[in-house]
């Protein structure tokens, strides 16, 4: 057996070196501590100004305004109106919401989008809105079946022309 092998060291200094971690590990721990401190400060957010300097206090964010009953009503009205819109209209509203618009403003815009007419490119109107009837060029006053019957009695030629016109549709007339 070799001298000193398997036996306790004679010197107390060597036991202290054996119990301490290596230098590279200590450096690695220091780097990790700095990283965790940076993450913790980011999670905490900006610290409030503690100095008495007025310029520092003016730049600090103010507390948000308390939520009122009118804010809640506006949010409910907005969501109810938003529910009936198309996906593209909802996307537009989401963009405005990201810009910081209030729910009362968003509710007004959503109502305007809901009541707006269909695009002129031939797309279908939004659900829930009636489409307009074809224009009636020959007899513009005819809006119901009874008016069409009276036209037949008064002016048979105009009645025949109205029936022959492909733009006119009897099914779109009111049943009065």
Predicted local confidence at residue 171, as pLDDT: 82
HSE (side-chain half, CA atoms, 13 Å) at 82:
18
Work out the pLDDT band at 153, boundaries 50, 70, 90. very high
Instruction: Identify the CA nearest to 89 among candidates 70, 114, 67, 72.
Output: 114
- In angstroms, the CA 10 to CA 155 distance is 130
Q: pLDDT tens digits for 31-41?
A: 888 887 877 77
CB 162 within 8 A of CB 138: yes
**Contact residues for 58 (Cβ-Cβ < 8 A; gap 6+):** none
Q: pLDDT tens digits for 157-168?
A: 988 888 888 888
Task: Give the distance from CA 45 to its chain's centroid.
Answer: 25
Q: Kindly state the tokens that stand for 44.
A: 């905490």
Q: Per-residue pLDDT for 174 more than 70?
A: yes
- Predicted model pTM: 0.34
- In angstroms, the CA 67 to CA 83 distance is 23
Q: pLDDT tens digits for 77-130?
A: 888 888 888 888 888 888 888 888 888 888 888 888 888 765 555 566 556 555
> Domain segments of the chain: what residues?
69-115, 135-176
Within 10 A of 161 (CB to CB), how many other CB atoms are there?
Answer: 14
Q: pLDDT tens digits for 62-76?
A: 666 777 888 888 888
CB 124 within 8 A of CB 118: yes
- Tell me what the mean pLDDT of segment 56-63 comes to: 57
Q: Kindly state the tokens that stand for 11.
A: 């010197």
């Amino acid at each position: 057996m070799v001298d000193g092998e398997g036996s306790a060291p004679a010197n107390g200094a060597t036991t202290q070196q054996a119990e301490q971690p290596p230098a590279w590990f200590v450096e690695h721990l220091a780097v990790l501590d700095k990283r965790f401190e940076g993450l913790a400060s980011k999670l905490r957010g900006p610290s409030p100004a503690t100095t008495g300097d007025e310029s520092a206090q003016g730049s600090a964010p103010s507390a948000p305004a308390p939520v009122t009953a009118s804010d809640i009503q506006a949010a409910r009205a907005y969501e109810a109106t938003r529910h009936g819109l198309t996906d593209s209209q909802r996307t537009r509203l989401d963009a405005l919401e990201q810009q910081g618009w209030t729910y009362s403003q968003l509710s007004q815009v959503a109502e305007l989008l809901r009541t707006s007419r269909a695009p002129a490119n031939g797309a279908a109107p939004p659900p829930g809105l009636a489409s307009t009837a074809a224009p009636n060029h020959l007899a513009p006053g005819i809006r119901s079946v009874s008016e069409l019957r009276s036209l037949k009695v008064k002016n048979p030629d105009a009645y025949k022309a109205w029936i022959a016109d492909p733009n006119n549709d009897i099914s779109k007339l009111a049943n009065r």
